[in-house]
Amino acid sequence: MPVQNARQILTQALQRLGYALLLPVSILPLAALLYRLGQPDVLDLAVLSLTGRALFSQMPLIYAVAIAFGLSRQGEGTQALAGAVNFLLLSSALGTLAPGLHSDMICGLLAGLTTAIVYPWLKRHPMPHWLRLINGDFTSLLASALTCLLLAFPLALLWPLLEQGITLLASELLTTPFGAFCYGVLNRLLIPLGLHQVLGSLIGLGESNLQALASAQPLHEGYVAGLYPIIMFGLPGACFAIWLHRQRMQRLPQGGLLLTLALTSALVGITEPIEFLFAFTAPWLFLAHALLTGLSLATCSALGIKVGSYFSAGLLDLVLSYHAGEHSFWLIPVGILFFVAYTLLFYQLLERTPLSLPSKPIAPEHPRLASVAPSDPQMLAIQYLKVLGGMDNLQAMSVCLTRLSLRVRDISLVDQSRLLGLGCLSWIQLNDHQLVLVLGPNASLIEGQIRMLAERQSVPLGLKPNQESAGQSGW
């Protein structure tokens, strides 16, 4: 196999894993809110805090189910059930062979991955004649369970060393200014590939992360504090710089759009809509963003600021994590400095780097404002289908928080000039068949409506836009 093809297959596999990890990550805000609201200084309801803590303590099981389900061909429930069963088998076997290990999280990841690999492989390959009577889901479930049991033996030997390495990395190297800088830069650079969730999950496999989950404490408090100044202040500063630049260039300022993106980042920590404005069309801006993120993490590490994060470093997360942090107040003045730095640096870089926002003069753009996107979700989905060339042109589709990844038969049938009028924040054409739309909070809603329309018309719509065939499966 050529090296380039192998690299592409590996990247696609890791991207799918990153998307699968979004489900357990999306549960963390609910768990954090329940736990915090149940505390004595808020509502003083033990049932809420116990419920939130229970969700945190069961995150390894949730990871196993989410990975097995997210990597399944068509969202198969039996494969998700197999992931849960295999996690229980693997964790119990490993606990018997090597008691005292902090291995639940790695068991969850391995059980989900093993199920996602073994389960569909057996369903695609014919079984021997003497096993045909029990062929089907039972055989796949049994084989994946046996594979997980076999994994317990090498894992019992290797995991103590691996855990020591991960713990050393998280508690010693990443807590230094240089280590925090490297983590911050890499974390942001992996966002366009959808691999930052994989990085965060790998770093969080050690003992400290499991203890934090069990006690419902914010994760990675030693080095994640530096994300708060970037997400709450830096990226809104980038939006302000874009607005100032467009005003000076006599272009449509897009103030409402940019304000929405800034508030989404600052309040709830969803940064993809802003980052995808310049991740592909203005790489110098994105590189500057990654370097500034690393600088923020290094600064907070040098100042001894330790504030963890339950899900994403926005204002809501800061309110929930503030009481458990150290020197939490200093995030505000540091954040103001990064707001100024982002505004000045981005304003200068925008003189040389284009964006995918419309760049016509203000006067010709005003008629476009009369075209308002439908408020009804189904009508909005129908409008998107028309812009994408109709249902027959759509082959596969997947959603990732704020992004909608699409595979179309003929990219020339897609009217990209009308995407902005429908509320699309940004978009990028990856190749002759793949398109990524940044839709913000509407992404899941539009994806669900389009799938419902596809089912009504009996149109097969795949889940893997990065594969040549909509119905093709595989890991």
The residues that are catalytic are 400
Q: Which of helix, strand or coil describes residue 356?
A: coil
Residue 168 amino acid letter: L
DSSP 353: -
3-state secondary structure of 304: coil
Q: How many CB atoms are closer than 10 A to CB 215?
A: 12
Report the DSSP beta bridge partners of residue 394.
408
- The type of residue at 142 is L
Q: Where does residue 472 rank: exposed (0-12), middle (13-18), buried (19+ CB within 10 A)?
A: exposed
- CA atoms 202, 54, 146, 158: torsion sign: positive
Instruction: Please report how the helices 207-214 and 46-57 are oriented relative to each other, as an axis angle in degrees rounded to 10.
Output: 150
Token duo for residue 435 = 């398109």
**Residues of 277-298 as b/e, b for ≥16 C-beta within 10 angstroms?**
bbbbbbeebbebbbbbbbbbbb
309: β partners: 219
Residue with tokens 């596999």: 13
Strands 426-429 and 394-400: unpaired
What is the rounded distance in angstroms from the CA atom of residue 106 to the CA atom of residue 94? Answer: 11
> How many whole angstroms from its chain centre is CA 308?
18
Query: Between the CA of residue 336 and those of 85, 149, 342, 345, what are the distances in Å?
Result: 48, 52, 10, 14
Q: How many CB atoms lie within 10 A of CB 112?
A: 33
CA distances from 162 to 65, 171, 205, 343, 431 (A): 23, 14, 10, 42, 39
Task: Select from 83, 82, 81, 108 the least CA-distant residue to 94.
Answer: 108
CA atoms of 199 and 195, how far apart (whole Å): 7
- In 3-state terms, what secondary structure has residue 425? coil
Rg (CA), the chain: 23
- Give the chain's length: 475
Cα–Cα nearest to 219, from 82, 15, 28, 70:
28
